Structure 1
Amino acid sequence: MADKTAKLSWDDNTVELPIHSPTAGPDVIDISKLYAQGDVFTYDPGFTSTASCESTITYIDGEEGVLLHRGYPIQQLAEKSSYLEVCYLLLYGDLPTAAELEKFVHDVTHHTMLHEQMYNFTRGFRRDAPPMAIMVGMVGAMSAFYHDSTDITDPWQREVAAFRMIAKMPTIAAVAYKYSIGQPFVYPRNDCDYATNFLRMCFSLPAEDYMPNPILSRAMDRIFTLHADHEQNASTSTVRLASSSGANPFACIAAGIACLWGPAHGGANKAALEMLEEIGTPDRIPEYIARAKDKDDPFRLMGFGHRVYKNFDPRAVVMKQSADEVLDLLGIEDNPILQVAKELEKAALDDPYFADRKLFPNVDFYSGIILNAMGFPTSMFTPIFAVSRTVGWVSQWKEMLMDPKQKIGRPRQLYMGATERDYVEVEDR
């Protein structure tokens, strides 16, 4: 029960609305009864001032640069934990014991294989199909290949569906990548950890096996961890909205992938790399720094600052550490893009203009550098994001299904069209 209320008055009407106090963050005015009591509703484009659900999974304070998963700071998780341990945390609410983690890792690892017919399904795409297009189709098709885990009323089937998606998403992303470049599919191996398995499936060949350096595996694991969940963003909200209709879990996650595909959501690290390619060489950095400061120039430094984090991106500190480790391992002498990235980072951090506006490099800037150094084309950046975010989508999906307050999503609208008018016969128009 809310212990505070807010009064909303207009004309001769007044309604009292309960105010809820969350465990962290600002108070929330409950407007769920506003239409019933006052015959009005609110207008909030993008729902940026509307809480659509209760959640115990992720908390963000953009002003202070805070990101917590189940109460644990993201910096601690990225430095001390692993992606699969974070998956367990997001799914079940607490960090696992050693025995629980061992079993969870075993179970996920032994679900990484795909149904063999899914490879035949993949071959139906055009040879130049974008990896994201293949991922949307393949994940949606999982409901046909794994229809024994689509009954959302069955707790056991929900659990199996969750495992299958977390385990198989790296395999699907690697299959999409291999198909897009015309190389044979590589099967997962149960003796590899999650990140190593993914890198091996992407870069190994039948004629030449590939086992990544542990530094690269650790960097990929951190990319997965730092993108695991991010509260009620566009793709997570899409998953919840699709789930509210009772759709099967694979269809809901496919909807989330489709939303992530949009450049305003999942394309930030891709945009950062494309900007570095546009700059081209380190000697052109001053020109682009000047353009970024010019209010009349449409150019913006991509990968600097963040729409949510107004102070600093808490994920960027750990991601920078991994970027430095990867670049030290692989070198940047023969890669002009990485040379530009390092020089641009230094120039921006040393410039008071960017420091005063808190336009620091964010997680997308550093993750883009790492993925480029590893050899991934930009077309794979968003699929890798989708692999990372799958556990967040699945956790939010499971939480929603257990919430007795949830109902089918049905946003309202501010109608500005024509009022009722009579049909006119075509010859009289």
Structure 2
Amino acid sequence: MAVHKNTPRQSLTVVDNRTGKSYELPITHNSVLATDIKKIKAEPSPTDTAEDETKQGLRVYDPAYMNTAVVQSKITYINGLEGILRYRGYPIEQLVQKSNFLETAYLLIYGELPTEPQYADWQSEVGQHTFVHTDIEGLLKSFRYDSHPMSMLTAGFAALGAFAPEANPSLRGQKLYTAAASGDMESLKVLDKQILRILGKAPTLAAASYRMRQGRPFNRPAQGLSYTGNFLHLLDTLSDAGKPYTPHPVLEKALDALFIIHADHEVNCSTATVLQVGSSLVDPYSVVAAGCAALYGPSHGGASESAIRMLMEIGSPENVPAFMKDVEARKRVLVGFGHRVYKNVDPRSTAIRQLAEDVFKVTGRNKLLDTALELARYARESDFMRSRNLYPNVDFYSGLIYQAMGFPLDFYPVLFAVPRCVGWLAHWRQQMLTPSGVKIWRPRQLYVGSGEREYVEARERERKEGATVFDAPVQVHHGGDSKRNLLAVGRVRARL
């Protein structure tokens, strides 16, 4: 076989100017190993501190994982520059148009679209795991009436693990799930059973958090409905008497498509949390609860809620220019535009636009739509927005659909969490089945604090010179009962 002399080597040559040494680092899948960077060592310079650990090798500093790959995955591919999103190789647009949520869930978790017999078994198995223990219902009923639904959902998933001791590696041994990677069928059965249980119970827990807020009794799962059809039944059925509940087909289809769109998005904040927690080999219920906690944040799963609140605040189309001037002056934050990964059009927003039109034909035109469209038009024509690649993202349109369908704002993150359980479990399963084993995640840090100090006795300490408000607890104002207690025990301070 002829060897072409001009064929470039798949490697990176790095010269350490501190030592003059040259290092050749192999390039695989357009990446270099961070541990290869660690091989670059030098003697400490006069500006290095002992805490820099210079002799132990060079570290990679990457705040917020801006350019660090932490896993090898076969699940989801994203190309942010070209606006591409694929599940196991299938474009998201095709899946939204041709597939359904449960079929897509099978694809994400197991790698291929199911055959008809496989899908029938899958649908039946998930449907068999929709009920939750009555004690779980009691737990949810113990929350305050105004508790955020995501708090209840997170607690519900965490509690589920306590009702499945056979699924807890802390009780059954740390190799309970990882043994599946070597072909242990009993381990694999336990692993896949928990996936079925979580997917089946996710809509039940989510609907219970919704009904709890309304003061309505919890509904029981229905047989014979689709995944999203059963979810709508759990949310909305007012009585078991009379005609069986049948969701509107357009709304059911729209919610199903939104579930597909939200099912996975590569190693985002909540999925990274799932993998971080999963690397400790804890049970999958704790893993999913951790994912919910991460998704809860307004910079992640709470973004669609924030986008609608922003549109409500703008009020009407004529107020858009003034609002955008404040955005450009950095006085206001624009929500629903731009994305950490996508530097072009968010393909999920493209797939969702027609859904919005279909829903509005049934529910009536969303009053915020004109404001949203004017904001989108302004973004297209604004040099400020174009120069920063700020285009409408999935949160911008999904929030409009959720509001048109009558969901309360604080329920939007829950509508995100239910389908995202699929993505979390797909990545968790892939992690557990890693042939080389699961290593616990332990990121490094750059320590920039004080060097070694001698302990100072309390009577000899002085207040830090140049101390700011961040260097001590701020004064907390307590309620009246706390003031009475302080007065009762004679612990009156100069300022109450």
TM-score by length of 1: 0.92
Which runs of structure 2 are paired with 1:147-162 in the superposition (5 Å)? 147-150=165-168, 151-153=176-178, 154-162=187-195
Q: Percent identity?
A: 40
Q: Which has the larger radius of gyration?
A: 2
Partner SS for 1:186: coil
Aligned residues, how many? 418
How far is 1:278 from its partner?
Answer: 0.2
Matched, 1:251 2:279: no
Tell me which residue corresponds to 1:17. Answer: 25
**1:196: Cα distance to partner?**
1.1
Contact 1:122 1:134 in 2 (8 A): yes
Q: Deviation of residue 77 (structure 1)? A: 0.7
Deviation at 1:297, TM superposition (A): 4.2
> Mean Cα displacement is larger for which, 150-159 or 50-59?
150-159
Partner in structure 2 of residue 282 of structure 1: 317
- Tell me if structure 2 keeps the 8 A contact 1:305–1:362: yes
Distance 1:111 1:352, change over 3 A: same
Kindly tell me: are residues 329 and 347 of structure 1, through their superposed partners in 2, closer, same or farther at Cα, counting changes over 3 Å? farther
Displacement of 1:350 in angstroms is: 6.5
TM-score (norm 2): 0.80
Q: How far apart, CA to CA, are the structure 2 residues paired with 1:412 and 1:347?
A: 43
Measured after TM superposition, the shift of residue 37 of structure 1 is 5.8
Measured in 1, the distance between the counterparts of 2:302 and 2:192 equals 30
Structure 1 CA distance for aligned equivalents of residues 271 and 380 of structure 2: 32
Cα offsets for 1:86-126 (capped at 9, x unmatched): 10001111111111111111111221111222111212222
Q: Decide which of 416, 434, 437 is 1:385's aligned counterpart.
A: 416
Task: Give the letter aligned to residue 265 of structure 1.
Answer: H
Report if the CA contact (8 A) 1:149-1:160 is conserved: no
Alpha-carbon distance between aligned partners in 2 of 1:343 and 1:197, rounded to the nearest angstrom: 36
| Cα distance per residue 1:147-196 (max 9 Å; x no partner) | 23334242111101111111111111111111122221111101111111
Distance 1:327 1:342, change over 3 A: farther
Distance in structure 1 (CA, Å) of the matches to 2:373 and 2:214: 29
Offset, 1:290:
4.5
Q: Which residue of 1 aligns with 2:220?
A: 187
Q: Is the 8 A contact 1:315 1:363 kept in 2?
A: yes
Kindly state the Cα deviation for residue 60 of structure 1 after the two structures are TM-superposed.
Answer: 0.6
The aligned counterpart of 2:450 is 418
CA contact (8 A) 1:152 1:249 kept: no
1:24 maps to: none
Deviation at 1:230, TM superposition (A): 0.6
Q: Which amino acid letter does the alignment assign opposite residue 199 of structure 1?
A: L
Provide the secondary structure at the position in 1 that maps to 2:276: helix
Paired position in structure 2 for 1:30? 33
* 1:90/1:392 contact within 8 Å kept: yes
Q: Please provide the CA RMSD for this pair.
A: 2.1
Superposed CA offset, 1:365-388 (max 9, x none): 111011001111110011111111
- 1:83 is aligned, of 77, 101, 104, to 101
**Deviation per CA, 1:221-244, whole angstroms, max 9, x where unpaired?**
011100111111111011001111
Distance 1:190 1:66 in 2: 36
Unaligned ranges ≥5, structure 2: 1-8, 42-56, 169-175, 179-186, 462-496
For 1:8 and 1:113, locate their aligned partners in 2 and report how far apart those are by CA, in whole Å. Answer: 58
Gaps of 5+ in 1: 22-26
Matched position secondary structure for 1:192 = coil
Listed as ranges, the matches of 1:83-122 within 5 Å are: 83-122=101-140
Call closer, same or farther: CA 1:374–1:35 in 2, change over 3 Å.
Answer: same
Q: What residue in structure 1 maps to residue 275 of structure 2?
A: 240
